[in-house]
A and B are shown apart, each in its own frame.
Chain A
Amino acid sequence: MAITEPIVEMEDISIEFPGVKALQNVDFRLFPGEVHTLMGENGAGKSTLIKALTGVYKIDSGTITVAGGPRTFTGTADAQSAGISTVYQEVNLCDNLTVGENVMLGHEIRGPLGVNWRKTHEAARVALEGLGLGHLDPRQPLSSISLALQQLVAISRAMVTNSKVLILDEPTSSLDANEVEGLFAVMRRLRDQGVAILFVSHFLDQVYAISDRLTVLRNGQFIGEYLTHDLDRTQLISQMIGKDSQVLAALGSNRGRGVVDPDARPFYSAKNLGRRGSIDPVDIDVHAGEVVGLAGLLGSGRTELGRLVYGADRPDTGEVLIDGVATEVHTPTAALAHKIAFSTENRRDEGIIGDLTVRENLILAVQARRGWARPLSRKEQQELCDKYLVELNVRPADPERPIKNLSGGNQQKVLLGRWLATKPELIILDEPTRGIDIGAKAEIQEAIATLAEDGMSVVFISSELEEVVRLSERIVVLKDHRKIGEIINGPEVTAESIVDLIANEGRPEAVAEAAGLELVETEESVA
């Protein structure tokens, strides 16, 4: 199959950590001039394989061949000197230096009087131009350019060392569509120059847009290596999660079934809920057993609205009725007392308490509601752990492990468990499936559907419109910090109808008519 010799060949790699077989007999090859994507769920062993290649982890058995000879690296720097560069999801650059200084850091051009900054910046410009980034001024501070461009600067920096192999570990997770396209243009350019690129991403569309070859891992085992055009998405998903993708397709297909009587008293009802500079006043109702989706682009105010409902930010206008009773929800503590829970999109900064154990993280909200003086007994804590770690399929199901050592998807499940343990009547889920693999995603979607069936009210926020459409009974559409409409979900509603609504926001009625939608509410000011 291969015309050329692979530049990196890993054969029969096994790594065992105490109690865990992280990799078992995994094979992996990288060819020059190819983008090779590593696919697998969280915990499948993708990062471990990368770290085995760059020498961060020592391999227990197997061989690594680089450019024809056996090699073992002692770490990322050693690998880089052999032409294998890694660019991580979080950009490791110096914000306060210029673009050029970042590109050339450690390779500054020296003259008789120390560093010659003019020549250094010139060399940086050449390096940037080589990636089609000629429009970037090497003398502007790094902090003045977007995250996406910073990522490209990180790649230029890797290429200054004439790398033959470039490892991109989830570079796209915080980029928007245009930025991803820009990154892909750079990747294609490098590929055509003969660089071998190892790419990791959770976004299937991106994987299919850029990869030439796929290697699938599952639970530390090698499942297979495929040419991308030989494997369709359904097959790929089945390979990754080891279960029939029918289950995924069937998920939430009975949404929009109209189980909720719109005239009944909603569990949560807000009129003119707003906060200056964050979101204009909004009306929103959520009935028991209903999933209300908040749809909108990034920055549309969907997260801000969720935070106002929970009291994470203090609203400055609006009346809130909970079960028909006027209530003030100005703090998270008050929200929890009224059985409202909020799962944040910002898992690391606002969700997990990293150094605490899974058990402590799981019980935290329940304990906060009981107050410090009435601690949960060890037995009660253990019961909560037993229940939610199993129900949510947290792996490893070890309550005494620090939560920071779990993968992102499993941290998310523990957080979901934290909120469910408070037995909420209304749960706000802000991007509960972001940055986690497709298997965990399906499990969380399934969990949400089940919760609503059991009578819980759910406010579901996601940047993936398909997901919102699949799960929600009603969809509140937001744009530019305003509510621009509300759609009752039904078979004729698709992600495209929401996109149309956002795009043609000036004439929502016209859009609704054209799409045959039932539009329940629009803001007066829009007309």
Chain B
Amino acid sequence: MSAPRTKKATPFLSTVIHQPYIWAIVALVLLLVINLIKDPGYLGVSFNAGTGNLSGNLIDILRASAPVMMIAVGMTLVIATRGIDLSVGSVMAVSGAVSMQFMSTADGSAGTAFAAAGLALAVSAVLGVVNGLLVSVVGLQPFITTLITMLAGRGLAKVITAGQNTSASNEPFRWIANGTVFGFPVVFVIAAVIVAILAVLVRRTALGLMIESIGINPKAARMAGIRPIGILISVYIVSAVLAGVAGIFSTASVMTVEVAKTGLSSEMDAILAVVIGGTSLAGGKFSLTGSVIGALLIATLDKTIVFLSIPSSATPAFKALVIVIICLLQSQRVRALFARRRAQGRPTPPSSPSAPPNPASTRKETVSA
């Protein structure tokens, strides 16, 4: 006899409905609808035949979501290992500072732009290595470790630019933020490609399984022969490098690094995007798709706040309100409450199946391994 297979061809829609990030999608649609009510032409995307560019609010949202998306997917992997990376905002500032400082003294060629980006990402990676080593080898708590690099990172950014908000002019670099590819913003295309590569890397290899194992039960993962140190260092490097990319994105649009402001509180946006996307802060199972949707939601929310001309003093409160509602809808208890409402009268499903489905017929099997 062979083991029964449970793989059924589940329709895409019903799969999505059972994902924890369904509420993020609902909220996203709701925000767009609100905008649409205010301005019926909100969702319009126009095509400029002369420049080949798409323009419109949706395109703006995609452009604005790119930096958050980058740090959110990096954060997802770190959180999946039971960690947290508070340093991403500071790493953005470091990355911006390195590239601006480098370009401010060099020529405006594409080669300079590449070198600046490469240097910025390399410095970011070094910060990731520091985080990873402190967490995995030294065994410091991720919260403390990255809190330290968060403070040190912003200091480093100020040292690099001698405390100044440094500007530079380099058209190829500026193109990253303002240019388009097939009509789409370059930042969004780059972000999408990076997310796709990362998704293949973790889901088509065994990396995702190992990250989840470490996050769910580190002791058992080690006993099963998984070496946690390499994986932990890798996820912190990935997180830092993606924060570096986000730093390039957010400084390239204005070609200026504001060492005290660039990336400030970005770690909070990233953590929120991850949580909204349905990855538990306790670690374990993670969803890159969810975090991408979370990042899109945060970008939409930011844009909506501006569009509805909510006073800037009320912005944080409004943002918090929306996020609290989503988190409530996702919480186990609220979901259980809804489930109970729906299933009134039916028996409570078992938390663990305590009866085997097939009776004594399989008992005769013995082992011959």
28 contacts between A and B (CB under 8 A): A16-B347, A19-B357, A20-B355, A20-B357, A219-B360, A220-B355, A243-B360, A333-B225, A344-B223, A349-B217, A349-B219, A353-B213, A353-B220, A355-B212, A355-B285, A368-B210, A371-B206, A372-B210, A376-B206, A386-B2, A390-B365, A391-B365, A391-B369, A393-B363, A398-B3, A420-B369, A446-B366, A450-B369
A332 within 8 A of B: yes
Q: Is the CB–CB distance between A447 and B366 below 8 Å?
A: yes
Q: Is the CB–CB distance between B3 and A385 below 8 Å?
A: yes
The A-contacting residues of B in range 218-251, CB under 8 angstroms, are 219-227, 231
Contacting residues, chain B, for A175 (C-beta < 8 A): none
Contacting residues, chain B, for A517 (C-beta < 8 A): none
Contacting residues, chain A, for B311 (C-beta < 8 A): none
Interface of B is mostly: loop
Contacts A331-B227, A450-B368 hold; do A219 and B220 have CB atoms under 8 A apart?
no
Q: Is the CB–CB distance between B1 and A395 below 8 Å?
A: no
Please encode chain A, from 39 to 79, with 1 for each CB lying within 8 Å of some chain B CB and 0 for all others. Answer: 00001111110000000111110000000000000000000
Contacting residues, chain B, for A20 (C-beta < 8 A): 350, 353, 355-357
What is the minimal beta-carbon distance from B229 to any residue of chain A, in angstroms?
10
A400 within 8 A of B: yes
User: Given the complex of chains A and B, what is the CA–CA distance between A396 and B352 in angstroms?
Assistant: 12
- Complex partner residue of A392 from B6, B209, B367, CB under 8 angstroms: B367
B50 within 8 A of A: no
Tally A residues with Cβ within 8 Å of B: 83
Contacting residues, chain A, for B205 (C-beta < 8 A): 372-375
Please encode chain A, from 13 to 28, with 1 for each CB lying within 8 Å of some chain B CB and 0 for all others. Answer: 0011111111100000
B139 within 8 A of A: no
Interface residues of B (CB under 8 A from A): 1-7, 204-207, 209-210, 212-213, 216-217, 219-227, 231, 284-285, 347-360, 362-363, 365-369
Contacting residues, chain B, for A356 (C-beta < 8 A): 209, 212-213, 216
Contacting residues, chain A, for B366 (C-beta < 8 A): 391, 443, 446-447, 450
Q: Which of A21, A242, A370, A372 is most buried by chain B, counting CB atoms within 10 A of its CB?
A: A372
What is the minimal beta-carbon distance from B217 to any residue of chain A, in angstroms?
5
- Complex partner residue of B355 from A22, A58, A360, CB under 8 angstroms: A22
Contacts A353-B217, A364-B213 hold; do A45 and B354 have CB atoms under 8 A apart?
yes
User: Given the complex of chains A and B, what is the CA–CA distance between A454 and B7 in angstroms?
Assistant: 34
In the complex, the chain B residue whose C-beta lies closest to that of A21 is B355
Q: Is the CB–CB distance between A375 and B204 below 8 Å?
A: yes
Q: Is the CB–CB distance between A418 and B360 below 8 Å?
A: no
User: Given the complex of chains A and B, what is the CA–CA distance between A365 and B5 in angstroms?
Assistant: 22
Q: Is the CB–CB distance between A393 and B225 below 8 Å?
A: no
Contacting residues, chain A, for B365 (C-beta < 8 A): 390-391, 393
Q: Is the CB–CB distance between A17 and B368 below 8 Å?
A: no
Contacting residues, chain A, for B347 (C-beta < 8 A): 15-17, 57-60
In the complex, the chain B residue whose C-beta lies closest to that of A398 is B6
User: Given the complex of chains A and B, what is the CA–CA distance between A45 and B355 in angstroms?
Assistant: 6
User: Given the complex of chains A and B, what is the CA–CA distance between A220 and B212 in angstroms?
Assistant: 35
User: Which 5 residue pairs are nearest across A and B when measured between Cβ atoms?
Assistant: A368-B225, A447-B367, A395-B356, A22-B355, A397-B3
A265 within 8 A of B: no
Q: Is the CB–CB distance between B348 and A364 below 8 Å?
A: no
User: Given the complex of chains A and B, what is the CA–CA distance between A454 and B212 in angstroms?
Assistant: 35
In the complex, the chain A residue whose C-beta lies closest to that of B234 is A372
What is the minimal beta-carbon distance from B80 to any residue of chain A, in angstroms?
11
In the complex, the chain B residue whose C-beta lies closest to that of A405 is B352
Contacts A372-B205, A451-B369 hold; do A48 and B358 have CB atoms under 8 A apart?
no
What is the minimal beta-carbon distance from A489 to any residue of chain B, in angstroms?
22
Contacts A219-B356, A350-B219, A420-B369 hold; do A355 and B224 have CB atoms under 8 A apart?
no
User: Given the complex of chains A and B, what is the CA–CA distance between A399 and B212 in angstroms?
Assistant: 18
User: Given the complex of chains A and B, what is the CA–CA distance between A388 and B2 in angstroms?
Assistant: 10
A330 within 8 A of B: no
Q: Is the CB–CB distance between B216 and A447 below 8 Å?
A: no
A354 within 8 A of B: yes
- Complex partner residue of A454 from B1, B225, B369, CB under 8 angstroms: B369
Q: Is the CB–CB distance between B357 and A22 below 8 Å?
A: no
Contacts A356-B212, A365-B224 hold; do A397 and B206 have CB atoms under 8 A apart?
no
Q: Is the CB–CB distance between A367 and B206 below 8 Å?
A: yes
Q: Is the CB–CB distance between B355 and A390 below 8 Å?
A: no
User: Given the complex of chains A and B, what is the CA–CA distance between A369 and B210 in angstroms?
Assistant: 12
A174 within 8 A of B: no
Contacts A60-B347, A344-B223, A405-B353 hold; do A395 and B362 have CB atoms under 8 A apart?
yes
Contacts A350-B223, A356-B216 hold; do A391 and B368 have CB atoms under 8 A apart?
yes
Given contacts A59-B347, A390-B365, 18 further A-B pairs with CB under 8 A are A17-B355, A22-B350, A43-B354, A44-B355, A312-B223, A332-B225, A333-B227, A344-B223, A352-B220, A364-B224, A370-B206, A372-B205, A372-B206, A375-B205, A397-B362, A399-B5, A405-B353, A443-B366
What is the minimal beta-carbon distance from B46 to any residue of chain A, in angstroms?
44
A124 within 8 A of B: no
Q: Is the CB–CB distance between B209 and A367 below 8 Å?
A: yes
User: Given the complex of chains A and B, what is the CA–CA distance between A389 and B227 in angstroms?
Assistant: 27
User: Given the complex of chains A and B, what is the CA–CA distance between A447 and B367 in angstroms?
Assistant: 5
User: Given the complex of chains A and B, what is the CA–CA distance between A458 and B22 in angstroms?
Assistant: 49
What is the minimal beta-carbon distance from A470 to any residue of chain B, in angstroms?
17
User: Given the complex of chains A and B, what is the CA–CA distance between A388 and B223 in angstroms?
Assistant: 20
A188 within 8 A of B: no
User: Given the complex of chains A and B, what is the CA–CA distance between A398 and B222 in angstroms?
Assistant: 25
Contacting residues, chain B, for A418 (C-beta < 8 A): 224
User: Given the complex of chains A and B, what is the CA–CA distance between A59 and B362 in angstroms?
Assistant: 28
A130 within 8 A of B: no
What is the minimal beta-carbon distance from A444 to any residue of chain B, in angstroms?
9
Contacts A332-B223, A349-B217, A420-B369 hold; do A43 and B3 have CB atoms under 8 A apart?
no
Q: Is the CB–CB distance between A389 and B3 below 8 Å?
A: yes
What is the minimal beta-carbon distance from B17 to any residue of chain A, in angstroms?
18
What is the minimal beta-carbon distance from B220 to any residue of chain A, in angstroms?
5
In the complex, the chain A residue whose C-beta lies closest to that of B221 is A353
User: Given the complex of chains A and B, what is the CA–CA distance between A451 and B366 in angstroms?
Assistant: 11
A351 within 8 A of B: yes
A268 within 8 A of B: no
